[in-house]
Structure 1
């Protein structure tokens, strides 16, 4: 007997959309922190990696409160017009909350915040579509992995994978070997999936996770100060990857 056309398989892994109550609770949480802290920073992220963003949260958990994602909800919580703003001047910051950005409430003085984020950089592996920041040429001879110090050659059982990813290797005394140099990637050109896999296998980190500060709201005056000293480039923004949301859309303690 043929299956009924009415029979449908529903995936239990599908994530339900946030309810109005959940969004309302998040707005209240944002507003409560706006009442509590002296400063509110607007920031963006380059070469987005959720693990590194969680590190930022952990390092600031005792002196700040961070929200990331759900830009429309955060903007509405702060208020987008003078009549709607939760506190004086917040609408000037709220109007800038667009796209993949976050806000951080803190009492830490601005220069200390600026210096901290200027120093916080985490190298990581590139993803397909990223722009190569440098040219990598693998020399003739054994294909080396740089995860260890000193580098060591790939084991024989990984030679088929290296060939599948585009390397013309041969076995020499049980070691995958290149007879001629191989240009793995070229600076300024987009990386393919095969190139990024090779870069990861050999241990070359091509991108850097970092946080760019955009603007700061000061509660005592209600003024918003623009900041572009460590702006994120278009190439870095292209690596957001959509994995930055933590706790279904916001990142907090």
Structure 2
């Protein structure tokens, strides 16, 4: 008789220890950075793309350091109030950390930092659920941008197509997406096939702390944009 898997005992001690150690590393890293860099910024992001963020981080590694992760862990590192703050006045950053945000430590001049963040934008293919930025419609007729082998795949995406002498033909006009409406999985795949990028990965500065100054740049940003693991 096969052994029941319900009775298997799984220990979580190693997982818990690993999680605790990681949190301690983040806290220690942030507190070390407080001594190494002259300014700290809180930033938010939309349409996160990990590969693009790593490139941004690599570009600035000689002068700066960025932290992403649990807001609560970062708040512990900074301090939540006057009584436990790591540096005088830095607990104010904890009050702004929220949603999808991070910390940027740097020795760069404030003007250079604001220019870097204001100018940074990376376009990418939108994921399911992202609001379409424009209406996309395919018109009846041949779809010569696709090879005949793709006809079954296009049909599975709900596109009314047929093969006509080896050429994929759209039987009737087809709306891929409408502006402002969330993309379905099929719409997202079709837009990728069409090479249309509707997602904009952006970083926004919210505030800055230095030993002699605290500035708030934006307080009304929506920090609820989904994190993407690409």
TM-score by length of 1: 0.82
Q: Which runs of 5+ in 1 are unaligned?
A: 145-152, 245-253
Q: Residue 178 of structure 1 aligns with which residue? A: 170
Distance across 2 between alignment mates of 1:186 and 1:5: 48
When residues 48 and 154 of structure 1 are mapped into structure 2, their CA distance, relative to the original with a 3 A threshold, is same
Residue pair 2:126, 2:188 contacting (<8 A) in 1 also: yes
| 2:75 equivalent to 1:75 | yes
Residues 4-153 of structure 1 mapped to structure 2, 5 A cutoff: 4=4, 6-8=6-8, 16-17=15-16, 18-143=18-143, 153=145
User: Residues 127 and 239 of structure 1 are in contact (CA less than 8 Å); yes or no, is this contact kept in structure 2?
Assistant: no
| 1:189 correspondence with 2:181 | yes
Structure 1 distance, partners of 2:176, 2:110, is 42
CA spacing shift, 1:134–1:239, aligned 2, 3 Å:
farther
Matches of 2:158 and 2:81, distance apart in 1: 55
Asked if 2 retains the 8 angstrom alpha-carbon contact of 1:44 and 1:101, the reply is yes
Give the CA deviation at 1:94. Answer: 1.6
Q: Deviations along 1:85-132, whole A, 9 cap, x unmatched?
A: 111110011222223211010011112111111111111111111111
Kindly report the root-mean-square deviation, in angstroms, between the aligned alpha carbons of the 2 structures: 2.3
Runs of 4+ in 1 over 6 A off after TM superposition: none
CA-to-partner distance for each residue in 1:17-71, whole Å, 9 max, x for gaps? 4443332232111011011111101011111111111111111111101101121
CA distance in 2 between counterparts of 1:211 and 1:188 reads: 22
Which structure shows the higher helix fraction? 2
- Alpha-carbon shift at residue 233 of structure 1 (Å): 4.7
Question: Alignment length, in residue pairs?
Answer: 227
- Which runs of 5 or more structure 2 residues have no equivalent in the other structure? none
- Look up the SS of the partner of 2:96 in the other structure: coil
Distance 1:6 1:137 in 2: 52
Residue number among 205, 225, 228 corresponding to 1:238 in the alignment: 225
Distance change (3 Å), C-alpha of 1:115 and 1:5: closer
